[in-house]
Amino acid sequence: MRSQQEMSRDEGGKEVTLMSLGKPHRPVARGILFSRDPSTIVGGERLGQQYWEVYVEVAIIPNESLIRNFQNLKTIGDAARKSIAWPSFLVKEDGR
């Protein structure tokens, strides 16, 4: 897991809100965008074109299921203070 200081400006560092997959999309967590690079590995899988790496700072809805489970992480609450992959279309940059 990388710290914020290890990120380059091109990779991220912006505060974001993770939205739920189900409609209506609701905020499920707040975090920091770590990477948009499709070759980045998160939880043993490449991000690909449709996922971004996000560090979850605060779980808003802790029982929300992760879209990509890995290790023993199954919910947003499990992923608090960890880096996860989240679909880019469900990542909202704060202030936008």
pLDDT tens, position by position, 60-86: 999 999 999 878 899 999 999 999 999
Instruction: List CB contacts of 55: < 8 A, sequence separation 6 or more.
Output: 4, 31, 32, 34, 81, 82, 83
H-helix segments, the chain: none
- Radius of gyration for the chain, computed over Cα atoms and rounded to the nearest angstrom: 12
Per-residue pLDDT of the chain (96 residues; tens, 9 = 90+): 444 444 444 457 899 999 999 999 999 999 999 999 999 999 999 999 999 999 999 999 999 999 998 788 999 999 999 999 999 999 999 875
Number of continuous H segments (helices) and E segments (strands) in the chain = 0, 9
Q: Is the pTM of this model over 0.75?
A: yes
- Neighbouring-strand partners of residue 15: 32
Reported CATH class of domain 4-93:
mainly beta
For residues 20 and 16, what is the distance between their CA atoms, to the nearest angstrom? 13
What is the domain partition of the chain in residue ranges? 4-93
